């Protein structure tokens, strides 16, 4: 039976109605601070927690519920004689329902320019303590941390006069998940605030998320999967995107979309990329998003069928017309936004229109690209590394051949290396006029990646440029590329055979630059 409830919430949505129903059921209400004022102001019978503790709230509200008469009432085992005797001896009232949500720490630190002291004040102490106490003693106490659960609790109380075992267990799990997520957010924020360098990582690294999507299945139909949003997600990301409709997103859609958005964030100008199986098969800059899409699609029209797209500008009617014309089909599109007439055209202009997933991500570009450390799961643990945010500008290019690249070639080389960063190693990108002609990805030898990129480039390869994510271990890769028509190459350098590779370029009259920066993507 629920005879007494303690309510102390930061998020007060739905609170008045919930408290009123509890009171009408004969439940005695205890509350703190602003929660007490709201309930009392609504004309609902309620007692201040200080009337139980016989201590006032103090220290600007930092101390109010940290008291034996509160935690004893929550933690006591109702069937344990010594616990019952202790409650009677010390006038500790049993608390059967704890309704608590926490100070909005994550929302506070997400604001630009928040002062450290203001952030620290939003670290809740009493709230997590009460939540954990109630969740630990869920055999006897129900804990509610989410206003969305108010209705479920009231339904069980009205039907059975108590909160059943199954719901109490479910609410306890949700409560412990909340405190784990909350503490992880605080730990991560403090780490990022006080991190001395890019190579400085804490002894313990916490990573949590909130379930955002239940997926039909994982990478394959026999695997279960769900998408969890990180509490500190910022900028264009799947966690922050507005889903404008289409078929339900799949695991593979999400993986491809994440990669597509990350690639698009390399560019501030109108840009489009076409991804298939987590690799860009086409990408281009253009005067308009429609022009960029058309050139990106031509990078590999065969592979582009059934692809995922990302663009850096609003999808307008012209871009939509391009996509629905011809025998084109895409799974999903990520963009800053979509014009209404473009959405209508995408929805009605093709057999696949009702299924294509549209995600509005807000501004996409270098200024909003994520610079947070990245993680990768391993069996038994996970890896953490700083983000690959290196930017090879003109000043970082070392010309190592007799021939120097022209200004136009440098522009194309810098474009190609941005794409190359997002291709699975061994990665080769051949481009011309800020447009991808061919990509070689994921091959076990670099020369095979070159051959694949050359084959994809076709006749347009004449006068093109090539970027490699890592050094050429032998001259064979550059020889294949130059003999096919590549005239300028970019690579990080660093091989023991750099001299031989450079000589192969000089022999064939091609230009080569070193960046000193590798971009493996395993």
Half-sphere exposure of residue 500, counting CA atoms within 13 Å on the CB side? 10
CA distance 504 to 476: 9
CA distance 270 to 381: 39
Answer yes or no: are the C-beta atoms of 418 and 519 closer than 8 Å: no
CA distance 434 to 416: 7
DSSP letter for each residue of 309-368: EEESS-B-HHHHHHHHSSS--EEEEEES-B-HHHHHHHHHSSTTTTT-EEEE-S--SGGG
Q: Is 136 a catalytic residue?
A: yes
Answer yes or no: are the C-beta atoms of 371 and 356 closer than 8 Å: no
Catalytic residue among 136, 140, 174, 372: 136
Dmax (CA) of the chain? 95
Catalytic residue among 140, 277, 314, 372: 277
Number of Cβ within a 10 Å radius of residue 242: 11
Answer yes or no: are the C-beta atoms of 471 and 427 closer than 8 Å: no
The DSSP element (H or E) to which 307 belongs, if any, is: strand 307-311
CA distance 235 to 368: 5
CA distance 217 to 166: 26
Q: Is 277 a catalytic residue?
A: yes
Q: Three-state DSSP class for 103?
A: coil
Rounded (10°) angle between helices 498-508 and 476-484: 20
Non-local CB neighbours of 403 within 8 Å, separated by 6+ positions: 505, 506, 509, 510, 511
β-bridge mates for residue 283, sequence order? 273
CA distance 316 to 307: 19
Number of Cβ within a 10 Å radius of residue 69: 18
CA distance 446 to 476: 9
Q: Which residues are catalytic?
A: 136, 277
């Amino acid at each position: 039976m629920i005879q007494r409830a303690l309510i102390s919430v930061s998020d007060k949505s739905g609170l008045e109605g919930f408290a009123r129903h509890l009171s009408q059921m004969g439940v005695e209400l205890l509350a703190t601070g602003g929660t007490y004022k709201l309930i009392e102001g609504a004309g609902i019978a309620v007692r201040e927690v200080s009337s139980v503790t016989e201590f006032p709230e103090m220290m600007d509200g930092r101390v109010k519920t940290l008291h034996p008469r509160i935690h004893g009432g929550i933690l006591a085992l109702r069937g344990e004689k010594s616990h019952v005797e202790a409650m009677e001896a010390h006038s500790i009232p049993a608390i059967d329902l704890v309704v608590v949500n926490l100070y909005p720490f994550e929302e506070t630190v997400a604001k630009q320019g928040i002062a450290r002291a203001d952030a620290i004040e939003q670290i809740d102490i009493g709230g997590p303590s009460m939540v954990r106490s109630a969740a630990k003693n869920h055999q006897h106490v129900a804990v509610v941390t989410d206003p969305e659960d108010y209705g479920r609790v009231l339904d069980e109380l009205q039907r059975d006069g108590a909160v059943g075992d199954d719901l109490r267990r479910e609410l306890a799990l949700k409560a412990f998940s909340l405190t784990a997520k909350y503490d992880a957010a605080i730990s991560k924020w403090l780490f990022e605030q006080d991190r001395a360098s890019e190579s400085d990582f804490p002894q313990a690294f916490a990573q949590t998320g909130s379930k955002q999507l239940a997926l039909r299945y994982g990478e394959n139909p026999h695997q279960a999967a769900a998408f969890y949003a990180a509490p500190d997600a910022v900028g264009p990301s799947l966690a922050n995107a507005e889903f404008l409709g289409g078929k339900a997103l799949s695991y593979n859609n999400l993986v491809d979309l994440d990669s597509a958005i990350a690639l698009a964030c390399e560019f501030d100008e109108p840009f489009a990329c076409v991804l298939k199986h987590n690799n860009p098969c086409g990408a281009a800059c253009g005067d308009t998003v429609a022009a960029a899409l058309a050139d990106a699609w031509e990078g590999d029209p065969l592979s582009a069928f059934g692809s995922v797209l990302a663009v850096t500008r609003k999808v307008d009617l012209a871009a939509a017309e391009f996509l629905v014309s011809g025998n084109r089909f895409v799974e999903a599109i990520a963009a800053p936004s979509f014009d209404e007439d473009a959405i209508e055209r995408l929805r009605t202009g093709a057999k696949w229109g009702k299924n294509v997933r549209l995600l509005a991500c807000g501004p996409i570009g270098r200024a909003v690209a994520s610079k947070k450390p990245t993680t990768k799961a391993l069996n038994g643990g996970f890896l953490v590394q700083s983000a690959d945010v290196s930017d090879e500008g003109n000043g970082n290019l070392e010309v190592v051949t007799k021939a120097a690249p022209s200004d136009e070639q440098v522009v194309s080389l810098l474009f190609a290396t941005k794409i190359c960063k997002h291709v699975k190693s061994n990665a080769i990108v051949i481009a011309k006029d800020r447009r991808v002609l061919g990509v070689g990805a994921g091959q076990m030898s670099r020369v095979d990646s070159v051959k694949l990129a050359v084959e994809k480039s076709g006749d347009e390869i004449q006068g093109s440029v090539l970027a490699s994510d890592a050094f050429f271990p032998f001259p064979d890769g550059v020889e294949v590329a130059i003999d096919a028509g590549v005239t300028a190459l970019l690579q990080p350098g660093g091989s023991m055979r750099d001299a031989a590779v450079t000589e192969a370029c000089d022999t064939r009259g091609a230009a080569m630059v070193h960046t000193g920066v590798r971009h493996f993507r395993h």
